[in-house]
Amino acid sequence: MDVSSIIASLNDAQRLAVSAPEQAMLVLAGAGSGKTRVLVHRIAWHIKINRISPQNILAVTFTNKAANEMRGRVEELLNISARSMWIGTFHGLAHRLLRQHAKQAKLPDNFQVMDSDDQLRIVKRLLKAMNIDDSKWPPKQVQWFINAQKEEGIRARYMAESGDFYQRQMLAVYKAYEELCDRSGLVDFAELLLRAHELLRDNEDLLSFYKQRFQQVHVDEFQDTNTIQYAWLRLLTEGNNNLFVVGDDDQSIYGWRGAKIENIFAFQKHYPQHQVVRLEQNYRSTGHILKAANTLIANNEARMGKELWTEAGEGHAISLYSAFNEQDEAYFVVEKIRQWIKDGGLRSDAAILYRSNAQSRQFEERLMTTGVPYRVYGGLRFFERMEIKNALAYLRLASHHDDDASFERVVNTPTRGIGAKTLDDMRLLAREQSLSLWQASEKMLAENRLPPRASSALKGFMQLILQLGADTQDLALYETVKLVVEKSGLIELYKKEKQDKGETRVENLEELVNAARLFDYDSQNDENLGELDMFLTHAALEAGDMQADVDEDCVQLMTLHSAKGLEFKLVFMVGMEDGLFPSQQATDDAGRLQEERRLCYVGITRAREQLYLTHAESRRLYGKDNYPAPSRFLREIPPETLREIRLRANISRPVAGNSASLNSLHAKSAKYRMGQSVRHEKFGEGVVLQTEGDGDQERVQINFRNAGIKWLMLSYAKLEVV
């Protein structure tokens, strides 16, 4: 049989992984080594060579974007439809499983998926109902506790009462939360995974069916799996030895959100007949970049071990820049990017990576000042925006009246005179009699429990929801969304907002109608769900997706965590200082320090052609002035891969003590000197700290008496010597 179409384009290690016998396999895929290609070609091998039907293959990813890419590449490679394949995220596949077996999963047929924001609203409501002070028990902390237990497979009923007051209080809220969700038919993201695991674990016949159906199970980014995800995979593959996982222990950077690097090592114990294949040829970065990454990560203990290499040559040395402060760092980085653009490079090929979101402001300010378009990667996605979530809540409530999260969200949006006292009474009744908020409202109206004004307002809201349900009964999806958006009052509400914000919100609601018009119901349908419910589920899962969309040509700013899975020709890793990167918390914890080092490894391997590492001698962060030492990670990079960038002779360094030599060197070309008093029309009087640049690019740093330290371009500043 001709297999050339599947393996001809692969290197030797990739071919070994793709064509291996049907057995458990761990593919250690280094950064830029073609892991997605291996997964896709392995699936194609099973279908074309091993004659396994597409419907008998399961492939799990961590993002919808990766799942769609995998599905598309399988279809392109084999020229077949991959619609019958189960390819998706852990959450998406768990949702599909629960929809098809809702009764066995002890869920109502029309259960609703909550995103994180709706979950947080319910937690806040519970804390209030239980008279728990949310200043002492922050809702986000409670939400984290609940999700953490679920990710470990722990139900509230399995947790023993503890003498610890904190644990007792958290357990009480967890129990109340589970009761409310069960009563309302609500499922959060963590619940999707836990409930899917319990469904298979507790139904032997069902588990047997799916173990026979899924003859091959494939997992991407295996190092990012948590306890419950791995337990789910083991249920499906135990005894069959058919689990094919691709991962990289050196890129395990999500321990803080439950990922277990230990799963890679546990895999080898749980599947003793497994095979390990290492993908070490890198198709992304140059030799200098890979040597730095390899040497750095070798300082970590308990690694599986691999050595990245490339045929692309050594390339540019890694540039190291020591800045005076964070302003100088931002100026340096942006000037390098401007030169990159001037030389013909694309803005979108340049990325600034930082450890903390708080570092972005200086770069944003400098990019805006110089007119360079940029985007902070990982901002609010479409389905996470407030106006979109409000519209979706109306849609959910119109079709599922017992959805408490949606009821809470829109009962007074727009404001309709339903006061806090009415809502508190409604919540209390719902809690005492195990009712949904909708049912509690009906009961309060039927029994005349409310004052006339509150009764009229609540009755008007419920009639609106009922009318929306009736009016959209036979409409197409996009017509349903359009009608609900208009008749809910949201359009009129946002038109009243000042300036551009309201207009943007209205445009977003219009785009929601367009999204419904373009929604591909057939490809999303799991046979148990109507078009509207499928669209609402799609929106909830998209809101939980960690990946951001590709944007227009602009410089990318992001945290190092957000950069995983991406690559750029030009990369700046900034803030390379002890206490910032690695973080202060990691310096005294060996385990956390190793994860920080893996994060540094991830950052370095994002660069394809040029990599800049910067640190500052002084940095104001979180309201404090710091004088940090260069990051210990810089000392772990081979000196022969680094090129230190020296200060230009016409830059004045702000130093204490006698700086006459620096001043005299700079005085030949500078219009202003250090220590000189000047006046600005807007900022008032100040003292020159340093100057740099020439011609139109010359600028000064001034410490203004009232306005603080600022950088000003001399061509615009119009300074007056005092």
CA 271 – CA 261 distance, rounded (Å)? 16
Three-class SS of residue 134? coil
Active-site hit among 35, 260, 278, 355 = 35
Measure Cα distances from 551 to 61, 67, 591, 610, 677 in Å: 22, 19, 36, 22, 45
- Based on the residue annotation, tell me whether 505 is a catalytic residue of this protein: no
CA 508 – CA 386 distance, rounded (Å)? 10
Q: Helices 64-78 and 35-48, interaxial angle, to 10°?
A: 50
Active-site hit among 36, 55, 167, 504 = 36
Closest CA to 297 of 561, 559, 31, 36: 31
- Based on the residue annotation, tell me whether 35 is a catalytic residue of this protein: yes
Closest CA to 64 of 559, 521, 549: 549
Measure Cα distances from 394 to 351, 388, 397, 409, 488 in Å: 39, 10, 5, 9, 7
- Based on the residue annotation, tell me whether 221 is a catalytic residue of this protein: yes
- Based on the residue annotation, tell me whether 220 is a catalytic residue of this protein: yes
- Based on the residue annotation, tell me whether 551 is a catalytic residue of this protein: no
CA 324 – CA 591 distance, rounded (Å)? 32
Residues that constitute the known binding site: 29-36
CA 177 – CA 157 distance, rounded (Å)? 12
Provide the total of helices (H) and of strands (E) in the chain, helices listed first: 30, 22
Write b or e for each residue in 203-214: b if 16 or more Cβ atoms lie within 10 A of its Cβ, otherwise e: eeebbeebbeeb
Residues 85 and 57: beta-carbon distance below 8 Å: yes
Three-class SS of residue 57? strand
Two tokens, residue 314: 């050594």
Beta-carbon count within 10 A of 649 CB: 10
Residues that constitute the known binding site for ATP: 29-36
Measure Cα distances from 330 to 183, 319, 557, 625, 714 in Å: 53, 15, 12, 17, 18
Q: Which helix (H) or strand (E) holds 626?
A: strand 624-626
Cis previous bond, 414, omega within 30: yes
Active-site hit among 251, 327, 362, 610 = 251
Active-site hit among 118, 188, 220, 387 = 220
* 627: alpha, beta or left? (left if phi > 0; alpha if psi -120 to 50): beta
- Based on the residue annotation, tell me whether 295 is a catalytic residue of this protein: no
Active-site hit among 115, 118, 191, 221 = 221
Closest CA to 424 of 411, 347, 414, 236: 411
Beta strand 374-376 with 112-113 is unpaired
Three-class SS of residue 47? helix
CA 405 – CA 396 distance, rounded (Å)? 10
CA 568 – CA 605 distance, rounded (Å)? 10
**What is the biggest distance separating any 2 CA atoms in the chain, rounded to whole angstroms?**
89
Q: Which residues are catalytic?
A: 35-36, 220-221, 251, 606
